[in-house]
A = this chain, B = another copy of it.
Amino acid sequence: MPLSTKESIVALAENHIQQNGYNAFSYHDIAMQLDIKNAAVHYHFPKKEDLLIAVVEKSEQHFLNMVEVSKTADKSCLDKLNRFLRIYDNNLDRQNRVCLMGALATDLFTLPAHLRPALNRLVETMKGWLTETLKEARDTGEFQFDGVASDRAALICSSMAGALQLARVLGNKEYKAIKYQLIKDLIQ
């Protein structure tokens, strides 16, 4: 089924944010793309921060859906990890989008305060799932790594966020090199 106007606004806003950051798009941009007026966007999301929260919450929902699919579809922890990393691959493929955390981190202190718990929740959810996956993999002997699993999860999240950004500056080859380095460090 086609997206409602409201859903389309969120999808376009997400894309703008991950393409150029929160400050680089206006309600007018989105209105034009949907062939509606500025005020129609305000009807659905009165303040720009309402739209931002919706984008972050949609992204968390999207991740939780991925987790559900993973439960039945992935047989190994490497499968799970690869599914996780595909989130970043997809961003790279969509015209070098950066990840949502990376896109919002720089502007974070200029953004409305109640964005922060929403973003924190999203990142904790992602890092938490990755931590559990790493623990499980180390228990079964599938992965080997030193230190605390949650620290390793934080390293992977920050590396991938940085990799998408570095790819913009140095090229996409860098992204792949970083990604395979991270995997190799786990399977040895």
A residues with CB within 8 A of B: 19-21, 23-24, 96, 98, 101-103, 105-110, 116, 119-120, 123-124, 127, 146-148, 150-152, 154-155, 157-166, 168-170, 174, 177-178, 180-182, 184-185, 188
How near does chain B come to A61, taking the closest CB pair, in angstroms? Answer: 18
Contacts of A170 in B (CB 8 A): 120, 123-124, 127, 154
Most central of A21, A159, A180 by chain B CB within 10 Å: A159
How near does chain B come to A92, taking the closest CB pair, in angstroms? Answer: 13
Known: A127-B170, A151-B178. Is A165-B106 also a contact (CB below 8 A)? yes
Q: B108 near A168 (CB under 8 angstroms)? A: yes
- Pick 12 A–B contacts, CB within 8 A, sort by A: A20-B106, A21-B110, A23-B107, A98-B106, A102-B102, A106-B165, A150-B177, A151-B178, A152-B181, A158-B158, A158-B178, A185-B185
Give Cα A29–Cα B151 distance, bound, in whole angstroms: 38
Most central of A19, A110, A165, A166 by chain B CB within 10 Å: A165
Question: Which of the residues B110, B155, B184 comes within 8 Å of A146, measured between beta carbons?
Answer: B184
Most central of A101, A160, A188 by chain B CB within 10 Å: A101
Q: B163 near A20 (CB under 8 angstroms)? A: no
8 further contact pairs, Cβ within 8 A, besides A123-B169, A127-B170, A158-B166? A24-B110, A101-B165, A105-B169, A106-B165, A123-B166, A154-B178, A157-B162, A158-B165
How near does chain B come to A9, taking the closest CB pair, in angstroms? Answer: 20
Give Cα A133–Cα B147 distance, bound, in whole angstroms: 25
Q: B165 near A148 (CB under 8 angstroms)? A: no
